[in-house]
């Protein structure tokens, strides 16, 4: 069930007139040691990003099932990438970021987990110069596109995704999108801010203010990809988006893997998972975990 506080916040946004404009991130890449540390810590154990990762990994697995080569744009400190690699051991991942600090962390996490199916590269997601046309079966990304400075860069990134994808290649792009009013951002941050370091709360606020509007994501999908790409946003209030190829069925064991991660979440994070899953479900995207 969706929480009452979330319901109140999204209804308020739904009935409001839009007055937020996008403000690009003050730091386009995450390279300061303190910010890297805070982000990395939030993505592990019962950190506030953990339930989001479960939601993302379970959907990504359904999109990339059967693929051989997958590119991850803006992999950050590699916590999510590690989960993709563990959940999909037969797939070969290439992951890029512009922050060497973040890539250093990612390398550590991959080693700690004895992961062999990931190649890390310093690369700009708007200029994938290391990769020839039609290299990948799928391109995925999480919480990275809002780091781009402007609409032209996002457009360049979409064109690069299209270029490096094989014909009928698959996508899973997940990010924030810009809500109508500042109160929505305040509410979303308030759910986790009290037990998080100040630097993480500042980064999260900057990220949400830097999100692109959902309408722009939809336009770029229409202009660059075939008709079968599904576009989703959270119900009543667009504050997250998922742009994806159709899902494929997972094996029973693969599904069990994600259920067991859900069982390991604490009550607060299960509620965050349920809220996000329900808000996407209202708009037609089903969750693997009920």
Residue 242 Cβ, how far from ligand SAM at the closest point, in Å? 13
Strands, sheet with 69-73, edge to edge from the N-terminal-most edge strand: 118-122, 92-97, 69-73, 136-142, 165-176, 240-244, 230-233
In order, the DSSP letters of 157-172 are HHHHHHHHEEEEEEEE
- Smallest gap from Cβ 182 to ligand SAM, in A, equals 21
C-beta separation of 176 from 146 below 8 A: yes
- Contact status: 74 vs ligand SAM (CB under 6 A): yes
Query: Nearer to ligand SAM by C-beta: 176 or 214?
Result: 176
Task: Determine if 41 is a binding residue for ligand SAM (CB under 6 A).
Answer: no
Least separation in angstroms between residue 155's CB and ligand SAM is 13
CB 287 within 8 A of CB 280: yes
Hey, is 120 helix, strand or coil?
strand
**Is position 125 an interface residue for ligand SAM (rule: CB under 6 A)?**
yes
Toward ligand SAM, which CB reaches closer, 96 or 189? 96
Contact 220, 162 (CB under 8 A): no
Six token digits for residue 191: 């759910």
When asked if residue 209 is in the footprint of ligand SAM (CB under 6 A), the reply is no
Q: What element of type H or E holds 139?
A: strand 136-142
Size of the site for ligand SAM (CB under 6 A): 20
Phi, psi dihedral angles at 38 (to 5 degrees): -65, -40
Helix (H) or strand (E) run with residue 138 in it: strand 136-142
For residue 177 the two structure tokens come to 């999108």
Q: Is residue 54 a contact residue for ligand SAM (CB under 6 A)?
A: no
Burial code (b: 16+ CB inside 10 Å, e: under 16) for 77-109 equals: bbbbbbbbbebbeebbbbbbbbbebbbebbeeb
Q: Which is nearer to ligand SAM, 98 or 243 (CB)?
A: 98
> 43, 67, 276, 288: which one contacts ligand SAM (CB under 6 A)?
43
Please give the Cα distance from 163 to 182 (Å, whole number). Answer: 36
Sites for ligand SAM among residues 14-33 (CB under 6 A): 28-30
Residues in 255-274 that interact with ligand SAM by CB under 6 A = none
Among 10, 70, 75, 285, binds ligand SAM (CB under 6 A): 75
CB of residue 243 to ligand SAM, shortest distance in Å? 15
By CB under 6 A, is residue 142 in contact with ligand SAM? yes
Question: Which range of residues in 91-99, 226-234, 242-250, 261-269 is near ligand SAM by CB under 6 A?
Answer: 91-99
Q: Which one of residues 144, 173, 237, 277 is an interface residue with ligand SAM (CB under 6 A)?
A: 144
How distant, in Å, are the alpha carbons of 13, 33, 118 from that of 27? 28, 13, 27
- Segment near ligand SAM (CB under 6 A); pick from 75-83, 110-118, 217-225, 234-242: 75-83
Residues that bind ligand SAM (CB under 6 A): 28-30, 43, 74-76, 80, 96-99, 102, 124-126, 142-144, 147
């Amino acid at each position: 069930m969706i929480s009452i506080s979330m319901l109140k916040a999204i209804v308020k946004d739904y009935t409001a007139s839009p007055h937020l404009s996008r403000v690009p991130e003050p730091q386009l890449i995450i390279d300061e040691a303190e910010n890297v540390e805070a982000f990395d810590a939030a993505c592990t154990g019962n950190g506030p990003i953990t339930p989001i990762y479960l939601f993302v990994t379970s959907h990504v697995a359904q999109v990339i099932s059967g693929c051989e080569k997958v590119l991850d744009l803006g992999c950050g400190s590699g916590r999510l990438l590690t989960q993709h690699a563990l959940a999909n051991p037969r797939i070969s991942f290439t992951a890029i970021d512009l922050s060497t600090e973040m890539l250093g962390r990612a390398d550590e996490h991959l080693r700690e987990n004895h992961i062999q199916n990931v190649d890390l590269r310093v690369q700009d997601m708007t200029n994938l110069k290391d990769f020839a046309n039609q290299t990948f079966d799928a391109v995925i990304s999480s919480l990275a596109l809002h780091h781009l400075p402007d609409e032209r860069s996002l457009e360049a990134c979409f064109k690069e995704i299209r270029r490096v994808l094989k014909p009928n290649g698959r996508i899973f792009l997940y990010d924030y999108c810009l809500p109508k009013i500042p109160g929505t951002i305040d509410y979303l941050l308030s759910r986790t801010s009290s037990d998080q370091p100040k630097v993480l709360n500042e980064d999260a606020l900057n990220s949400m203010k830097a999100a692109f509007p959902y309408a722009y994501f939809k336009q770029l999908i229409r202009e660059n990809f075939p008709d079968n790409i599904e576009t989703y946003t959270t119900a009543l209030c667009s504050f997250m988006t998922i742009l994806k190829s159709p899902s494929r069925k997972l094996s029973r064991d693969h599904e069990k893997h994600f259920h067991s991660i859900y069982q390991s979440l604490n009550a607060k994070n299960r509620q965050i998972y349920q809220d996000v899953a329900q808000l996407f479900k209202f708009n037609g995207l089903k969750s693997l975990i009920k």
